[in-house]
Amino acid sequence: MTPLRQKMINEMKLRGFSVNTQKSYIGAVAGLAGFYNTTPDRLHAEKVQAYLLDMIEERKLAWSTCNLAISAFRFLYGETLGNDSIGLAIPPRKTQKHLPEILSAKELERLFASQGNIKHRALLMTTYGGGLRVSEVVQLKIEDIHSERMMIRVEQGKGKKDRYTILSERLLKELRNYWKMYRPPLWLFPGQDPNKSICRGTAQKIYYNAKNRAKIKRGKGIHTLRHCFATHMLENGEDLRTIQMLMGHSSIVTTMTYLQVTRKKLASSRSPLDLLEIPKSKKSH
């Protein structure tokens, strides 16, 4: 590891950056260094901006990826190297926002039924049943399942916050059957090494494999199950504030996104066209 990379990592650690953010920033800087085949501390602002232009115009990368790179470069030159003069004066763009695609209850039943591996089915059902992020479900420990209180403890979720979410009776039964077969000692879903938890990439593959077997076209990654949890809770009459706490959203505005995809709410709304009394059109000859 180069001294510059270690210095940047140390600066990020001092500021409490998450491990994922650290990896993303280091990856972005490594891409810049590889593009010019030199250390980034030798590059001028024009070179950095030319690299960003290549990302946008030539490689046509998502603006979120470019925004991350800009943040990484600003941190490198401004905070790590103390060179504010490089000044990446690039105006931010709004990231395109897409509403989540929600699976129906029938589709979820097919998804879970398609998974013959009891461990994989338990992982998918836990993700949906608790409204968990993939980073949270893979880090669950046996002790996080509070069967007496019917709660799941999420330790250090997004934003480094602990929270509790619900444990359904159906999920508890599934987890007990899974535990009797596998007897995991520490992690609820261990990887090939029992001393380590299953990785997020593997959890994603489990979801995609089940989705393909169930012949489900809609929905993207395993995060779809979390979206389904929130939407179905709303459709079952749960209030937004409770869902916000269960999901671990910092702002209720984030939770309100699901109002836009709730079938019950949309189906109960009438189009103004239905309120018009329009005479039947006469047949034209």
pLDDT tens-place string over residues 215-261: 998 888 999 999 999 888 888 888 889 988 988 888 888 778 877 76
Residue tagged 């809609």 (tokens): 218
The bridge status of strand 161-166 relative to strand 151-157 is antiparallel
Residue (of 64, 86, 66, 175) closest to 130 by Cα position: 175
pTM above 0.85, yes or no: no
Residue (of 19, 242, 250, 251) closest to 139 by Cα position: 19
Q: Supply the pLDDT for residue 67.
A: 85
Q: Which position among 158, 200, 213, 220 bears the catalytic label?
A: 158
Residue 223 bears catalytic tag: yes
Phi then psi for residue 133, to 5 deg, are: -75, 155
Alpha helices in the chain (DSSP H): 3-14, 19-36, 45-53, 63-74, 105-113, 118-130, 134-137, 169-182, 200-213, 223-235, 240-247, 252-256, 263-267
Q: Which position among 133, 163, 211, 232 bears the catalytic label?
A: 133
Q: Supply the pLDDT for residue 96.
A: 59
Q: Give the count of beta carbons closer than 10 Å to the beta carbon of residue 266.
A: 10
Mean pLDDT over residues 67-87, rounded?
83
The bridge status of strand 145-146 relative to strand 151-157 is antiparallel
Residue 133 bears catalytic tag: yes
Question: What domains are there in the chain, each with its CATH number?
Answer: 3-86 (1.10.150.130), 105-266 (1.10.443.10)
Mean pLDDT over residues 158-165, rounded?
82
Does residue 283 carry a pLDDT above 80?
Answer: no
Q: Which position among 120, 226, 227, 232 bears the catalytic label?
A: 226
Q: Supply the pLDDT for residue 94.
A: 60
Supply the DSSP string of 16-70, one letter for each residue: T--HHHHHHHHHHHHHHHHHHTS-GGG--HHHHHHHHHIIIIIS---HHHHHHHH
Q: Supply the pLDDT for residue 159.
A: 66
Residue 226 bears catalytic tag: yes
